[in-house]
Amino acid sequence: MLGHAFPAVLAAAARGDEEAFGTLWRDLQPRLLRYFAVAAPATAEDLASETWLAVVRSLDRFSGGEPAFRAWVFTIARRKVLDWHRRAARRATEDLAANGPVERAAPDDPAATTLEGLSTRAALAVVATLPADQAEAIVLRVVAGLGVDQVASLMGKRPGTIRVLTHRGLRKLAERLGPDRISGMV
Amino acid sequence: MGRRPDGDADPLALDGETVERLLVSELPPGQAPPEYAPVAALLAAMAAPPSQEELDGQAAALAELRTVTMTRAAHRPSERRRRRRVGLAAVAVAGALATGGVAAAATGHLPEPVRKATRSILVTVGSGEPASTLPPSASSTQPPGSGHAVQPPPPTAATVPAPGGPGVAAAASPGLKGLCGAYLAGKGAETGRKLNATAFQALARAAGGEGKVQAYCQRLQPPRPKPGNTKPKDPEKDPKPSDQQPGTHEHPGQRQGNPQATRSRSR
């Protein structure tokens, strides 16, 4: 979050100022990568690049505050995910079935199975095992830092539905991660 | 969630507020409900600070920015200046057209500042087409009351339609034009009653008042052989100029000097 600095940074970035753009990029790129890790694993970096290309091209036409900007960027990102799924639906299914997020979790890695050492990657891999809507809602709230209404708008659902999705998702995570169930995390 | 039939509380039950606090990282594992401590840790890991790996692509992203910026500047040197205005101007125009559109409907002109902003947006949206492709000052060359034959779609920010006049007709949706058609066709008797109350109210809102619907609808219609009716001369229906939206550009030839017109038809 850039806070008060945001309007000036945005304006400069829209004019092509590289330092300003870099600030925006550093704030959002990790979030985008993590979002894609759950929504479109194995192609996160490509989709992030495509997202930034679209952002750069329309940056001087955007007007709004920081929360709106973040929502806008993730709207673009989500569209990239949907496009990708459409283009490669079969391949995506096969990938997940054959390798799944397990590949990223490295289940026999002690760091992945102790809570203190839980890596970002492992955490995202676990979330990716949830039903897609629950996973997406949780990631958009926790990683993208979007509010309920923004997530609702992005996913084309009602805010109440988003609350139910995240509630159920957390509950499922609790079922899988309970203190005596770590070995069953994968 | 809730109580199970055998009376034991569901250990995984969560209230909405706790869910919310978990999602915004306000509950570290030590403070979360015990069953959710692992979840809290997982969420914290998800929201951890960026890793060096995640920040690796910055140079490539900056290169892309450079390319886009330079391409844009090379193709349209003045484009950047105009584009800068699109964000603000588009919003201003969209708002002004909504209100100024009514003024335009009555006067046949857009208010000056709106016209200028609109022109700049049209150039921008036209993706760099030279300004000469715009109709020469679409609003000012049009005789008042002649209406527009073209019926472009309603404007939205940054997508104001090009040639055809960003003025009168652009401000009215096709639905309003249809209502106007019905209204004018039915006038003579109880004009307002020919449309149902809801439809008439929609027209009244667009026109800025029930007493202004007549003039508003006349502006929207294609030229008609009604020389004497290019209004508003009728003191009963002519709204006071000060009733117009702020910023209205009064056209001298238009109003026949009715600054103190009183309307006998009560609004």
Domain ranges of chain B: 19-45, 79-243
Chain A contact for B28 (CB, 8 A cutoff): no
Q: Which residue is closest to A62 within chain B, CA to CA? A: B87
User: Residue A72 burial (CB < 10 Å; 0-12/13-18/19+)?
Assistant: middle
Same domain, A128 and A177: yes
The pair of three-digit structure tokens given for residue B80, joined into one six-digit string = 């950047």
Q: Which residue is closest to B47 within chain A, CA to CA? A: A143
CATH number at residue A170: 1.10.10.10
- Is pLDDT at A111 greater than 50 in this prediction? no
Which one of A170, A180, A182 would you mutate to disrupt binding with B, by most B Cβ within 10 Å of its Cβ? Answer: A170
Q: Which residue has the higher pLDDT, A1 or B162?
A: A1
Same domain, A4 and A88: yes
- Is pLDDT at A167 greater than 60 in this prediction? yes
Per-residue pLDDT of chain B (267 residues; tens, 9 = 90+): 555 555 567 888 999 999 999 999 889 989 999 999 999 999 999 999 999 999 998 999 999 889 888 887 777 666 555 555 555 555 555 555 555 555 555 555 555 555 555 555 554 444 444 444 444 444 444 444 444 444 444 444 444 444 444 444 445 566 677 777 777 776 555 444 455 666 777 777 778 887 887 888 778 766 555 554 444 444 554 445 444 444 444 444 444 444 444 444 444
ipTM over 0.85: no
Beta-carbon-side half-sphere exposure of residue B114 (alpha carbons within 13 Å): 34
| B1·A122 Cβ contact <8 A | no
Same domain, A2 and A51: yes
Same domain, A89 and A1: yes
Q: Measure the CA–CA gap between A96 and A93, rounded to whole angstroms.
A: 5
Give B93 to chain A, closest Cα distance, Å.
Answer: 14
* Residue B211: predicted pLDDT: 80
What mean pLDDT do residues A101-118 have?
47
Q: Which residue has the higher pLDDT, B147 or A32?
A: A32
Of A52, A73, A100, at which residue does a domain stop? A100
The pair of three-digit structure tokens given for residue A97, joined into one six-digit string = 């079935």
Residue A186: how many other CB atoms lie within 10 Å: 17
Band (A80; pLDDT cuts 50, 70, 90): very high
Of A100, A129, A151, at which residue does a domain stop? A100
Of A100, A115, A131, at which residue does a domain stop? A100
Same domain, A91 and A109: no
CATH number at residue A41: 1.10.1740.10
Place of tokens 């969209």: B94
Model's pTM, two decimal places? Answer: 0.53
Which 65-94 residues of chain A touch chain B by CB within 8 A? none
Same domain, A96 and A113: no
What mean pLDDT do residues A87-107 have?
63
* Residue B153: predicted pLDDT: 44
Same domain, A77 and A6: yes
Q: Which residue is closest to B26 within chain A, CA to CA? A: A142
For residue A53, the enclosing domain spans 1-100
What mean pLDDT do residues A27-32 have?
97
Chain A residues with CB-CB distance to B36 below 8 A: 170, 174
Q: Measure the CA–CA gap between B71 and A17, rounded to whole angstroms.
A: 15
Chain A residues with CB-CB distance to B41 below 8 A: 115-116, 118
Same domain, A89 and A148: no
Place of tokens 């992945």: A112
Total number of domains constituting chain A: 2
Same domain, A96 and A106: no
| B86·A60 Cβ contact <8 A | yes
C-beta separation of A142 from A52 below 8 A: no
- Closest CA relative to residue A72, chosen from A132, A139, A146: A146
Q: What is the DSSP letter of A183?
A: G
The pair of three-digit structure tokens given for residue A158, joined into one six-digit string = 């009602």
